[in-house]
């Protein structure tokens, strides 16, 4: 592990959910075979804490520094361990001081599709390099990761799996320019065209200074989110009991070598955020500083995750959520469901549950089944309806249940208890608002007209229609504004021509207003984009602004209309399922605001959450959230168009967290 870390928590706006881990008693039994005695022995031997037989000779392995001659004893030690498990060790020699040691467990069904479990065996002092014959333990960094690789190999080397497993110990992770061993290994996989389905890298997993036995940090990238979800699911399903935090480093670790070649992978380590090992890269990184029960739990979650991958013990859902639209007809929901065991049929066949607004759930079975593909129908509903739905399936024996989104339960039939979050679509409403007040357009001045919208809703599309009499359209700049946003409809187009007559501005038009000729009649794409107003609150003031840039040409704004397609209901929106490391209530934005603002919060565990608005006297004004929420990041739109200017407070409360922030409404 590199000496300097720059850590930040990652907020992901989109997390694809396509698979769910399910319990397997074989995996559970192997997890429970992880031995603290075995791990302790491996670490003492690798870190020079005890005598070990290498080549039949009792000796102390006092260093794994990449230039030290002792490193070759470490290589022989790894060779002999793999051999003792029934595996054939192999070497990848990249140069005289960079030698990777690995072993292969060939898959029986898909031998060319591979998973890798790895760690680096070299160690180092920092900032001064050790001498070639100096003692250097490196018990945590990274004898601990190599111990995990060895323990996994010990447990499963004699078992057969569909996919190939590579047990890899990298060299030269530590010395500049860093991660050379893993880079060579990942490069060789890439240039051979290997199908690497997943990489699990283990680096520093044995220090637990606060003795909480439960904190784990992991690294992933956007390409590897499904794998990190598997890690978190295995932690829950096999009751390992770790608190898992997402961390990303701007300094290279071995997992980055695989990411750089496009392979999916995760690395997990001990708790860098709260409990950093102060002894790394020093002579004090020794066996007596380690917590063996803690490394045992870390290896248990490693075994559970890797076996879930190689046994393919996951349920896969492939479903494109139904989008919101103005269509009031029935909708067809298609999903592909893959179980590792037989899916139930008949009364326990997969179901689609749906409800309108806050009503009760109804369900429907598929009207079409072809292999793993199921199609179900949700009835049509009128404009303004909010439809929530989820999918559920179970296996034939009733041992496994899965829902999409995840988190539901209920067996025989499946999914009778809904998940905490559901898919939601709206049957969008459409309203047209007009102003027929004639206003003169004067030279070198702004003309403004306001349409006030009291209807609340989230904008999904905007069209503007206007009628202007003017003797030179080329003099006019025309804009649409709200208090917090704006766009240009037309800017000095149609020089010498006259009038805008029933001119419609629509982002979906094929002809730009810049390509039109006056009198502008028909539908045009605006010079700016009306989509800038999408996802904002519809209620409030919408202002048409016209500027005449030259003298000598007069005109009038005759009338104008604004047409909204919108979601008629406002609700909380989940922007990330990434598990935050703590509860937090953010400052609203914008602040001060008029009339709408966004409130963002994050929760680290499943909790009943309330979010309420109070005035300066402490009177409750509004309840924005009052329900159970999964861990994740959320935003809530708050519209205060009916409230007077002033100071307000918003308060979030859960069972073990409460926070209050202040905001200001200025009208």
* 200-239 pLDDT tens trace: 999 999 999 988 888 888 888 888 888 988 998 899 889 9
**Domain assignment of residue 271, yes or no:** yes
DSSP state of 109: S
Total domains in the chain come to 4
Give mean pLDDT, residues 354-376.
Answer: 93
- pLDDT-based confidence at 133, cuts 50/70/90? confident
- pLDDT band, residue 4 (cuts 50/70/90): very low
Are 421 and 434 within one domain?
no
Q: How many whole angstroms separate alpha carbon 537 and alpha carbon 540?
A: 8
Last residue of a domain, one of 532, 567, 602: 567
Per-residue b/e over 582-599, b at no fewer than 16 CB within 10 Å?
ebebeebeeeebbbbbbb
Sign of the CA dihedral with 216 first, then 217, 219, and 220 last: positive
Q: How many residues does the chain have?
A: 667
For residue 611, report the phi and psi dihedrals to the nearest 5 degrees.
-135, 115
Across residues 72-80, what is the average pLDDT? 97
Domain that holds residue 190: 18-312
Shared-domain flag, residues 410 and 547: no
10 falls within a domain: no
Look at residue 526 and tell me if it is in a domain. Answer: yes
Looking at the structure, do residues 196 and 324 belong to the same domain, yes or no? no
Query: Considering 543, 567, 591, which residue would you say is the last residue of a domain?
Result: 567
Sheet of 373-378: strand order equals 19-21, 314-319, 331-338, 373-378, 368-370
| CA 72 to the chain's CA centroid | 42
* Token pair belonging to 497: 């021509």
When pLDDT is cut at 50, 70 and 90, the band that residue 247 belongs to is: low
Query: Residue 120 above 90 pLDDT?
Result: yes
The domain that holds 553 is classified in CATH as: 2.60.120.260
Residue 315 CB contacts under 8 Å (≥ 6 apart), including other chains? 19, 20, 22, 337, 338, 339, 340, 393, 400, 402
Quote the pLDDT of residue 244.
Answer: 86
In a domain, 153, yes or no: yes
Nearest C-alpha neighbor of 95 from the set 167, 166, 183, 168: 183
547-582 residue pLDDT tens: 999 998 889 999 999 999 998 755 566 666 567 778
642 in helix, strand or coil?
coil
- Domain shared by 304 and 325, yes or no: no
What distance, in Å, lies between the first and last C-alpha atoms of the chain? Answer: 55
Say if residue 15's pLDDT is above 50: no
Q: What is the pLDDT of residues 457-471, one digit of tens each?
A: 888 899 999 999 999
Q: Are 576 and 554 part of one and the same domain?
A: no
**Rg, Å, the chain Cα set:** 31
Residue 515 to residue 145: CA distance in whole angstroms? 64
Looking at residue 284, its pLDDT comes to 94
- Residues 354 and 235 grouped into a single domain: no
Least confident of 1-5, 154-158, 390-394, 475-479: 1-5
In a domain, 8, yes or no: no
Whether residue 560 contacts residue 443, with contact meaning beta carbons closer than 8 Å, is answered with no
Phi, psi dihedral angles at 236 (to 5 degrees): -80, -50
- Residue 12 maps to a domain: no
By CB neighbour count within 10 A (0-12 exposed, 13-18 middle, 19+ buried), where does 431 fall? middle
305 in Cβ contact with 234 (< 8 Å):
yes
234, two tokens: 């295995």
CATH number of the domain that 636 lies in?
A: 2.60.40.3080
**CA 405, 411, 416, 417 torsion-angle sign:** negative
Of the ranges 9-13, 126-130, 374-378, which is most confident?
374-378
Residue whose C-alpha is closest to residue 110's, from 360, 315, 309, 407:
309
pLDDT tens-place string over residues 306-315: 999 999 898 9
d(CA 577, CA 62) in angstroms, rounded, equals 45
> Does any domain span residue 6?
no
> Do 582 and 489 have their domain in common?
no
116 contact partners, CB below 8 Å, separation of at least 6: 165, 166, 168, 196, 198, 199, 200, 258, 265
Residues 391 and 304 reside in one and the same domain: no
The mean pLDDT of the chain is 90
pTM, 2 dp: 0.65
Q: How far is CA 309 from CA 21, 87, 432, in A?
A: 9, 20, 54
Model confidence at 25: pLDDT above 50: yes
For residues 557 and 586, state if they share a domain. Answer: no
């Amino acid at each position: 592990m590199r000496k300097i870390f720059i850590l930040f928590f990652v907020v992901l706006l989109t997390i694809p959910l396509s698979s769910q881990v399910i319990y397997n008693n074989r995996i559970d039994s192997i997890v429970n075979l992880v031995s603290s005695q075995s791990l302790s022995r491996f670490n003492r031997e690798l870190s020079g804490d005890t005598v070990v037989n290498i080549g039949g000779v009792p000796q102390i392995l006092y260093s794994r520094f990449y230039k030290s001659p002792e490193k070759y004893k470490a290589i022989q030690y790894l060779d002999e361990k793999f051999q003792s498990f029934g595996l054939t060790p192999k070497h990848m020699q990249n140069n005289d001081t960079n030698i990777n040691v690995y072993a292969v467990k060939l898959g029986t069904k898909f031998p060319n599709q591979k998973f890798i479990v790895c760690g680096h065996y070299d160690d180092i002092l920092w900032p001064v390099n050790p001498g070639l014959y100096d003692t250097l333990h490196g018990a945590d960094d990274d004898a601990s990761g190599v111990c995990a690789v060895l323990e996994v190999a010990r447990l499963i080397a004699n078992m057969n799996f569909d996919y190939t497993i590579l047990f890899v110990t990298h060299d030269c992770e530590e010395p500049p320019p860093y991660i050379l061993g893993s880079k060579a290994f990942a490069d060789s996989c890439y240039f051979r065209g290997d199908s690497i389905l997943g990489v699990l890298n283990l680096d520093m997993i044995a220090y637990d200074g606060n003795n909480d036995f439960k904190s784990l940090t992991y690294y992933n990238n956007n390409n590897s989110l499904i794998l990190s979800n598997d890690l978190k699911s295995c932690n829950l399903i096999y009751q390992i009991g770790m608190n898992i935090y997402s961390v990303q480093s701007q300094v290279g670790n071995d997992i980055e070598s695989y990411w750089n070649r496009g392979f999916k992978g995760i690395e997990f380590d001990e708790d860098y955020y709260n409990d950093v090992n102060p002894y790394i890269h020093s002579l004090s990184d020794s066996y007596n500083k380690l917590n063996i029960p803690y490394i045992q739990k870390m290896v248990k979650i490693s075994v559970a995750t890797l076996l879930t991958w190689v046994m393919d013990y996951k349920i896969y859902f492939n479903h494109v959520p139904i989008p919101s639209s103005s269509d009031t007809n029935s909708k067809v929901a298609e999903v592909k469901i893959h179980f590792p065991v037989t899916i139930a049929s008949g009364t326990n066949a997969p179901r689609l549950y749906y409800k309108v607004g806050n009503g009760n759930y109804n369900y429907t079975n598929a009207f079409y089944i072809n292999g793993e593909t199921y199609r179900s129908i949700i009835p049509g509903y009128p404009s303004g309806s909010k439809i929530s739905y989820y999918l559920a399936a179970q296996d034939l024996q009733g041992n496994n249940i899965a829902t999409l989104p995840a988190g539901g339960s209920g067996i025989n039939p499946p999914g009778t208890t809904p998940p905490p979050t559901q898919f939601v679509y709206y049957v969008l409403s459409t309203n047209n608002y007009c102003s027929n007040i004639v206003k003169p357009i004067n030279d070198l001045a702004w003309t403004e007209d306001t349409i006030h919208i009291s209807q609340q809703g989230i904008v999904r599309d905007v069209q503007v229609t206007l009628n202007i009499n003017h003797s030179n359209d080329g003099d006019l700049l025309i804009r649409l504004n709200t208090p917090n946003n704006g766009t240009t409809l037309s800017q000095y187009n149609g020089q010498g021509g006259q009038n805008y007559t029933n001119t419609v501005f629509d982002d979906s038009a094929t002809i730009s207003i810049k390509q039109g000729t006056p009198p502008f009649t028909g539908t045009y794409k605006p010079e700016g984009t009306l989509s800038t107003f999408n996802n904002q609150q519809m209620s409030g003031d919408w202002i048409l602004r016209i500027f005449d840039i030259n003298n000598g040409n007069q005109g009038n704004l005759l009338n104008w209309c604004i047409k909204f397609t919108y979601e008629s209901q406002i609700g909380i929106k989940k922007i990330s399922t990434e598990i935050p490391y703590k509860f937090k209530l953010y400052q609203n934005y914008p602040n001060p605001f008029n009339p709408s603002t966004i409130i963002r919060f994050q929760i680290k565990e499943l909790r009943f959450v309330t979010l309420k608005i109070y005035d300066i006297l402490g009177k409750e004004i509004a309840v924005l959230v009052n329900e159970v929420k999964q861990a994740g990041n959320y935003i809530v739109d708050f519209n205060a168009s009916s409230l007077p200017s002033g100071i307000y407070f918003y308060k979030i409360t859960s069972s073990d967290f409460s926070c209050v922030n202040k905001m200001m409404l200025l009208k």
